Amino acid sequence: MNDLDFVAELRAGIPEPPSTRLAVGRTRLTAAIAAESRPGTTRSPDKRPNRVAIASCAGVAAAVTAAAALVLTSGRTAVPTAGRAQTIVTAAWTVRRDTSGTVTIYLRQYADPAGLQQTLHADGVNAIVRRVPVAMELVGLAGRLPGSGKTQLRILRTACRYATIDNAPAAVQRAVVSLAGGDLPAVFTIHPGAMPRMSALLVPFLTGLPASRPNGQKHIKPQLPVVLNNDRVPACVPFSKPAPSPGAPAPK
């Protein structure tokens, strides 16, 4: 991640504008168009913009509703640039594909996993985004603090694990995925060209994170995506239940 990436990420969480805001501008433009289209009206090719703006302010509120219907979009802002870079932005994450095909995910919140998977597929990454629940776990009691009782020590951890995952060798993992910044917002860099044929990228998507971090919890570290040798993802086995070992008899 270089300095230009950091600049690109600054204020990247600003979402696309609400339809009412765009409707204001469209109404002003519509008024200017209508003024020019009126019979007997001639247009000077070099109208100054401030004159047009002043002349078109009337009737903004009345047309907002009609114009709003025209500008409603899907909730993602696409900045397409044919054959080059492309950036898809949502409130939760940004996916940017640069000219070399490298895909960068700027993850601000764990939200819209289906949208993220669809966007990664469009960018050439055979991604499987799976929800992985996290759980708070009591690990012990700390010493007595002045004026208070015992302090509970809790940690956040994944509530399940992939026991029988068929992942690619470590060298492949390093070649495909890297992560900058050990906390949310996180920045994953993916090199689709380094992924072996028939492989897939498992992107764990943490769910059940607390709204506020518990005492002593300094970071919520995103889990690194894993390159799988195929696109078969085993079930995430809860820690409370032992993972079935291969060849073990099925429980009756």
Q: Which residues bind other proteins (CB under 8 A)?
A: 1-4, 6-8, 10-11, 13-17, 21-22, 24-26, 28-30, 32-33, 36-37, 45-50, 52-53, 56, 70-71, 73, 77, 79-82, 84-87, 89, 91, 108-109, 155-158, 161, 178-182, 184-185, 206, 221-224
Mention every residue, 6+ apart, whose C-beta is less than 8 A from residue 31. 55, 56, 57, 58, 59
For other proteins, give the closer residue by CB, 26 or 199.
26
Distances (CA, A) of 91 to 106, 107, 133, 183: 11, 10, 21, 17
Q: Dihedral of the CA atoms 44, 46, 50, 52 (nearest 10)?
A: 30
Q: Are 178 and 187 in contact (CB under 8 A)?
A: no
CA distance 171 to 96: 24
For other proteins, give the closer residue by CB, 130 or 161.
161
Give min distance, CB of 227 to other proteins, in A. 14
Distances (CA, A) of 178 to 135, 161, 181, 189, 206: 25, 21, 10, 5, 18
For other proteins, give the closer residue by CB, 26 or 128.
26
Give min distance, CB of 197 to other proteins, in A. 25
Give min distance, CB of 149 to other proteins, in A. 26
Give min distance, CB of 245 to other proteins, in A. 19
For other proteins, give the closer residue by CB, 49 or 251.
49
Q: Are 16 and 73 in contact (CB under 8 A)?
A: yes
Token pair, residue 183, equals: 């906390």
Give min distance, CB of 4 to other proteins, in A. 6
For other proteins, give the closer residue by CB, 121 or 219.
219
